[in-house]
Structures are given as structure tokens and as C-alpha cells.
Amino acid sequence: MSSAGDVSKIAQNTSNEVGKGVIIGNNTSAATGVLILEATDKALALPQIASPQTNVKSPYPGMICYDTITKTVAVFNGKVWSFLK
């Protein structure tokens, strides 16, 4: 079995701000935020959805995905989907 979905592989935040965010990929980070992804050889892979404007039934402001039809990043602003070129 792959460890890809194994949450035991997520590093615990040991800084003074424990409980204020999650760091994935390292034990510490110079960045601050709710979710921090650290890697020197990997990138964030967004969910891939064909036509999110029709297939995401209850979009929430700030949702982001990769539209497999338009081959662009799609962002929902609370009213409409925008497609980044």
C-alpha cells in the first residue's frame, strides 16, 4: 500500500503557533499561513474537474481547481467562475 494517503506522514507543527496551521513537507517553515506546503522538487496538484462551472454543484467562494476542458485554473469568486490564462 502506498503512503500517499497516510496522514501519519504529515509533519506536526512544533512552533509556538501550534494549532494555527499545518505544514506539509517539512517540520518547520519560514512562511506563515493556515496551510503551508514545503518542497524543493514537487508542486501543488489541484483537483482536476471537467467544466467546474457545471459539475461543481455547490461552489464556495475561493474554490480553485484545474478545468480539464479549458486546460486552465478555475477560481470561484462567490458568483462566477474565472479562468486564469
Residue-wise pLDDT tens digits, 35-78: 999 999 999 999 999 999 999 999 999 999 999 999 999 999 99
Same domain? For 36 and 53 the reply is: no
Domain that holds residue 61: 48-84
Among residues 53, 47, 49, which one has the least CA distance to residue 82? 53
Q: What is the rounded distance in angstroms from the CA atom of residue 10 to the CA atom of residue 8? A: 5
Same domain? For 32 and 65 the reply is: no
Same domain? For 4 and 33 the reply is: yes
Same domain? For 52 and 71 the reply is: yes
For 53-59, the CB contacts below 8 A with 24+ separation are 53/80, 53/81
- The reply to whether the predicted model has a pTM over 0.75 is no
Q: What is the rounded distance in angstroms from the CA atom of residue 20 to the CA atom of residue 5? A: 22
Same domain? For 33 and 57 the reply is: no
Same domain? For 7 and 26 the reply is: yes
Among residues 56, 48, 42, 37, which one has the least CA distance to residue 73? 48
Same domain? For 1 and 34 the reply is: yes
Same domain? For 1 and 37 the reply is: yes
The residue behind cell 475561493 is 62
Q: Which residues contact 14 (CB under 8 A, 6 or more apart)?
A: 27, 28
Number of domains composing the chain: 2
Residue 83 has pLDDT above 90, yes or no: yes
